[in-house]
Amino acid sequence: MLSTEQVFIKSENVKVPLNKEVCAALNDICQKEKINFGNLCSMIDQRKGKTCLTLALYLFTLIYYRRAALVQK
């Protein structure tokens, strides 16, 4: 199920549709990395190129957890 998260990026209120699992994963990443959700989204937004923010957040989450799994091997 999709939920809409509101984040501030460059002083603009942006609504990002995310499913609850990705939203929970991003919140877990924020806790682990000691960063707030809005700052994480802003950092990803700055690096995403022409990719939409929603897709960039999904890809970031996938890559983050994939790297974590490879480190644990």
**pLDDT tens-digit series, residues 17-35:** 999 899 999 999 999 999 9
- b/e map 26-65, b = 16+ CB within 10 Å: beebbeeeeeebeebbbebbeeeeeeebeebbbebbeebe
Which has the higher per-residue pLDDT, 16 or 34? Answer: 34
Report the mean per-residue pLDDT for the chain: 90
Percentage of the chain lying above the pLDDT 90 cut: 66
CA pair distance 68, 52, nearest whole angstrom: 24
Residue 12 scores a pLDDT above 90? no
- What integer pLDDT is reported at residue 7 of this predicted model? 82
